[in-house]
Structure formats: structure tokens, C-alpha cells
Amino acid sequence: MADNNVKKWYVVRAVSGQENKIKAYIEQEVNRVGMGDYISQVLVPTEKVVSIKDGKKISKDKVYFPGYVMVEANLTGEIPHIIKSITGVIGFLGETKGGEPVPLRMAEVNRMLGRVDELSVTTENVNIPYSIDETVKVIDGPFNGFNGTIEKINEEKRKLEVMVKIFGRKTPLELSFTQVEKV
């Protein structure tokens, strides 16, 4: 059985916002009908996004490709039908009307999975694109409440040099992306 059970990656289009629920449904349903051998992985690529809410850091997983669930499967017999009949599944990406679902090319899979691995590594992925000369408000630390102008941005360290007027004198502060907010 090992030989003819060749698995390829497919992309299932799903109702956006329900990716994780659909992933669980696919896994349950396939196991319920005893076809678990034909599906090796169901993935919802996510990235960790850290945001600041009320001065607190909130880290949450954001779905990287909203509306898509990746499935590594051997789509024999009933499998495509089973997956498509799951609530919230719209169909397979790339399938032609009445045709077979089209598998992803290995290069695409590696890129997506590579992306997934990369994303899980960079946990502090605060997506706050600041620009130089932009006015920001300090929301953390001793200068909480002060406004300042961004002088330098260090993407790698995720730090900003912000010029803040303190007692009438301009003072440069080094602050992390998470210590300021846009005004």
C-alpha cells in the first residue's frame, strides 16, 4: 500500500475566519470514514502578530492566507468529495469545473512551508511600519504620554530613535516599536 499512496499538497478554499475549525473538521471526517491514511497533514499557515492594546502586549496567531487550508493528501476515491462536503469548504484551489483538484508544485509548497517555519521563528513580528519624521506618542516607560518625532528606525532590532521635547529640550530616546503608537 505504501507505493500507490502518494501524497501531494492541495489548497482547500474555506470560509475566511473558520480555517482552524475547517482543519479540525477535515481531520475528524477523514478519520471517521477510515481514510486517515490518505491525509498526512492539514495546515493553516499562521504568523504571530504582536499588537498593543491598552498598553498590554497581545500576541495572537493571524492566519497568513485567509480563506485557505493546506492539505497534504492522496486524493483517491471519495477523499475529494468528503473534503468538499465539509461545512465551510468552498472547494479546491485550481480545480477546473468537474475536473481534478490541481496539486501545488513542490517549489510552492516549500515556499509556503518555509514561510510558515520562518513565521513561527520570528515571534516578535510586530507589524508596525513607522516612517522617519512621523510623530508618535510614547505609551510605555518613563516618558509615557510624551509625543516625539522618529529620527531613526532600526528594523532588525525593532527599535526607533524618537526625539522627544522634555523640559523644552529635545532629547533622543531609543524605544522599541511596542513602546510607541501612531498619533
Q: Return the pLDDT at 29.
A: 92
For residue 1, being part of any structural domain is answered with: no
Same domain, 104 and 155: no
Among residues 138, 145, 183, 142, which one has the least CA distance to residue 160?
Answer: 138
Number of domains in the chain: 2
The pTM of this model reads 0.57
User: What CATH number does residue 156 fall under?
Assistant: 2.30.30.30
Is 55 domain-assigned?
yes
| Rounded distance between C-alpha atoms, residue 131 and residue 28, angstroms | 47
Residue matched to cell numbers 493528501: 73
Q: Are residues 100 and 148 in the same domain?
A: no
Query: Which tens digit of pLDDT belongs to each residue from 30-59?
Result: 999 998 899 999 998 887 777 777 778 887
- pLDDT value of residue 47: 77
- Residue 91's SS3 state is strand
* Lowest-confidence segment of 99-103, 115-119, 130-134 by average pLDDT: 115-119
- 141 and 75, same structural domain? no
CA separation for the pair 87, 79 (Å, rounded): 15
Domain holding 147, by residue range, is 135-182
Q: How far is CA 178 from its chain centroid?
A: 19
Grid cell of 156 as nine digits = 532588525
In a domain, 83, yes or no: yes
pLDDT tens across 10-36, in order? 999 999 899 999 999 999 999 999 988
Same domain, 103 and 142: no
Q: Which residue has the higher pLDDT, 126 or 167?
A: 167
101 and 18 in one domain?
A: yes
- Confidence category of residue 100, pLDDT binned at 50, 70, 90: confident
User: Are both 67 and 154 inside the same structural domain?
Assistant: no
Whether the pLDDT of residue 65 is over 70: the answer is yes
Q: What is the mean pLDDT of residues 117-123?
A: 53
Beta strand ranges found along 46-118 (DSSP E): 46-53, 56-63, 68-73, 89-92
Q: Is residue 173 part of a domain?
A: yes
Is 86 in the same domain as 164? no
74 and 98, same domain (yes or no): yes
Residue 96 lies in a domain: yes
